[in-house]
Chain A
Amino acid sequence: MIELPALGWQSIVIFVVFAVSLLIATYCTYAERVIAAFLQDRVGPDRAGPYGLAQPLADAVKMFTKEEFFPGGANKALFVFGPCLAMITALMSSAVIPFGNNISFGNNAFFLQGIEVNIGMLWVFGVVSLGVYGVMIGGWASNNKFSLLGAIRAASQNISYELAMGLSLIAVLMISGTLSLREITIQQSIPGEWAMWNIVRQPLGFIIFLVCAFAETNRTPFDLPECETELVGGYHTEYSSMKLGLYLFSEYVNIFVVSAVMSVLYFGGFNFPFQYELRDWLASSQGWELASAQNLITALGTVLLFGKIFAFIFFFMWIRWTLPRFRYDQLMRLGWTILIPLAVVNILITGGLITFGVIK
């Protein structure tokens, strides 16, 4: 007899997170165009619906109804498998992100998090490192040299920047002493104590992580795998219809997830200043029950976490329409000879500060 876990609140949370990440990715395509138009002093999409808000739907209809094309000599199974894998790996990593503190109904407490594992950070890191397979398989199966070049660029770029990313995460680990993302979030706000967000204790580590996040999500200035001027469309040159849509979509899901990870690791996650003071004030002077005051704090924290995520997504788009693309050798040199040594130095500094008791 197979014992399946009962479908509890966790599956509801996972389903909601899944739906929300797809929704956010959908509207990222709209936001990208609006922000690009704003930065270039254009109007942007404004035809479909009020303020062009139905534009993502129109794009989806276009994607689904376009002709599905298989290039000659392509490996069909892997050609279809590539975009699927890109989407799956993009969606998987959001399962361990704590989107909110506990909410209680009566005697039942729920955490707004898919699964709480004591290796949360490693899970995110592992799934992110798998993301490159979707690009590589798709690029190879296209049977096109530009696609293959794009895929190879993506692979070497991701492997190179994963190293610096992992090293910058180690410094966070040294401070927090845990791999669980929920614990890391809670440590950034201990009640009754002025505990700072990790950005204050890890400024250099955050900058390294941010640069690596740009490289891992293949965003400008590091979008060499899909560099139009050299590689036509990069790894998705031969893709059309919704298979192309899945590739473009998975990039936005990746941006959402990496923004959420940055908010959780460095910007306090669902914590906000004076949350405990607000809860105690509601409970003591306003006559609220402690549980409902806590629920309000949790809801506010979730909203603010999404605010932080949106701020990061905006930052990604702002950079895209501001900075030009790097050259490939510059990209590799930045990763290997600047970011990795900097990350090692950051670990040494963090270790020294912990040893001398400056930070704990």
Chain B
Amino acid sequence: MSPLFLFLSFVALLSALGVVFAKNPIHSVLFLILTFFSLSGHYLLLNAQFLAAVNIIVYAGAIMVLFLFVIMFLNLNVDTEPHKPALAKIAAAIAGGSLFVIMIVALRDIQLPAVNGTTFDSQIGMVDKLGMVLFTTYKLPFELASILLLVAMVGAVMLGKRETGERHF
């Protein structure tokens, strides 16, 4: 394990814990952005540059901006923080803890598929290789997903479009 990997994992885990433990929701969102950055760093270590860039553009650049946006509007602070009953807290702790235990048990004996160093293609995560796979093997799912996104965008434009007789200013 390279020191860079250890460092990125450390940052990822620490900021992920920060998301959960931060009192201020804005701090939680910022920690989540930091988590996405360290995950992008992991993608870069795995030589998946395209995935790293898209992760930052889509998650850190667009989705988290909307998160931050909504949370700023909500004006959450200590005074308005809802206090949950102790029973809910205990139930949440037991549920989360058992999920954690189950995951440790499931992942403990996992056998990672061996990678042959001589035949492994280190360029597999590059954008041209990824594009070839997407446009040949996974052509139909790829096209369906792109149509779905286009429909969503057209829908957003239609919702924002002014209808006749609606002008107020």
Contact = CB atoms under 8 A, between A and B. Distances in A.
Interface stretch (B53-61, B89-97, B98-106): B53-61
Contact of A78 (B4, B26, B53, B169): B26
A48 to B, nearest CB: 40
A162 interface: yes
Given A148-B72, A151-B72, A133 B65 contact: yes
Interface string B157-169: 1001110000001
A176 B55 CA distance: 23
B73 A152 contact: yes
A52 interface: no
Given A126-B56, A340-B153, A119 B160 contact: no
Contact of A159 (B26, B53, B62, B153): B62
Given A140-B26, A140-B72, A125 B66 contact: no
Contact of B61 (A78, A126, A137): A126
Nearest to A131: B61
Interface in A59-102: 75, 78
B127 interface: yes
Determine the interface band of chain A, counting residues with CB < 8 A from chain B. 20 to 34
Interface string B48-88: 01100110110011100110110011000000000000000
Interface of A is mostly: helix
A340 B153 CA distance: 9
Nearest to B150: A344
Given A119-B53, A140-B72, A155-B68, A340 B157 contact: yes
Contact of A336 (B30, B56, B157): B157
Given A118-B49, A119-B49, A163-B153, A129 B62 contact: yes
A272 interface: no
A119 B65 contact: no
Contacts of A112: none
13 contacts: A2-B4, A78-B26, A126-B56, A130-B56, A136-B65, A136-B69, A137-B30, A140-B72, A158-B65, A163-B153, A336-B156, A340-B157, A341-B157
Given A2-B3, A78-B26, A159-B62, 19 more contacts: A118-B128, A119-B127, A125-B53, A125-B57, A126-B53, A126-B56, A126-B61, A129-B57, A129-B60, A129-B65, A130-B56, A133-B33, A136-B65, A137-B30, A151-B72, A163-B153, A333-B160, A336-B160, A341-B157
- What are the 10 A-B residue pairs with the smallest beta carbon separation, nearest first? A129-B61, A122-B53, A126-B56, A126-B57, A119-B53, A119-B49, A2-B3, A140-B72, A336-B160, A155-B69
